Amino acid sequence: MCGRFSFTARRDDVENRFGVFIDTDAYIPRYNCAPSQKLSVISNASPEKLSFYRWGLIPFWAKDFSIGNKMINARAESIIEKPSFKNSFRRKRCLVLSDGFYEWKKEEKVAGAGAVAGKKEEKVPYRILKKDNSLFAMAGLWDTWKDAEGRETQSFTIITTSANDLIKDIHHRMPVILQPEHERLWLDEFDKQKHLELLKPYPSELMKTYRVSKLVNSPLNDNKELIQPLINS
């Protein structure tokens, strides 16, 4: 799945890589993008610029916004059937910009010296990125929700698929990462077959993983240290 990621690029690198302009001073590099935050996307509604949408899709018909807490991922396999996503799949697609995502692996806890070997499980965070460290876009869906006073919130979800062989060791699901040449296609006019074909696992050969500090666990931490490979592992 994908429940946390980074997007640490400088603003002019974002503009050059994705062909968008950034019309706000609010853009900053992020090391710990978490659900409920406003994060960088390119929406088919305004594909020429960077937008900031809330992570956790709130369907337009929702009575209250808290339903968005559960909608951080959408399974590619069922996207055309789910009431919460089918409408957005047809009309409201976006690119979720990233340079790496985090997954937690369940590992056997290693007992310290003198301690009795235990069977306790431990969740260990890994960072997963492209081998060349380059920026990428994850396939997303978005929607607009209005509260009782008519104030609008744009929100998004990240589409997931089965893990490739590299990531399977850590977790059995992964976000859909689009080939760079497919990014604009994702935002183009809807074509069911064309768009479903893009929702495949990104190739293992082009990716790498490394263990990171558990500092990433808390969404309150957001600094360079989080993307540092953990040496003592």
> Which member of 77, 81, 94, 103 is catalytic?
103
Residue 83 found at the interface with DNA (CB under 7 A): yes
Residue 35 found at the interface with DNA (CB under 7 A): yes
197 in catalytic set: no
Distance between CA atoms of 219 and 119, rounded to whole angstroms? 28
Residue with tokens 């859909």: 176
Residue 166 found at the interface with DNA (CB under 7 A): no
Q: How far is the CB of 74 from DNA (least distance, A)?
A: 5
Distance between CA atoms of 208 and 99, rounded to whole angstroms? 12
Residue 146 found at the interface with DNA (CB under 7 A): no
Backbone angles phi, psi at 212, to 5 degrees: -125, 170
- Residue by residue, DSSP assigns 86-132 as HHHHHH-EEEEEESEEEEEEEEEPPPPTTSPPP--EEEEEEEEEETT
The residue (of 36 and 179) whose beta carbon lies closer to DNA is: 36
Residue 218 found at the interface with DNA (CB under 7 A): yes
Q: How far is the CB of 139 from DNA (least distance, A)?
A: 13
Distance between CA atoms of 141 and 69, rounded to whole angstroms? 15
Distance between CA atoms of 216 and 93, rounded to whole angstroms? 28
The pair of three-digit structure tokens given for residue 151, joined into one six-digit string: 């104030």
The residue (of 203 and 219) whose beta carbon lies closer to DNA is: 219
Residue 73 found at the interface with DNA (CB under 7 A): yes
121 in catalytic set: no
- Residues within the interface to DNA (CB under 7 A): 1, 3-4, 34-37, 56, 59, 61-63, 66-67, 69-75, 78-79, 82-85, 104, 106, 121, 123, 125, 160, 171-173, 214, 217-220
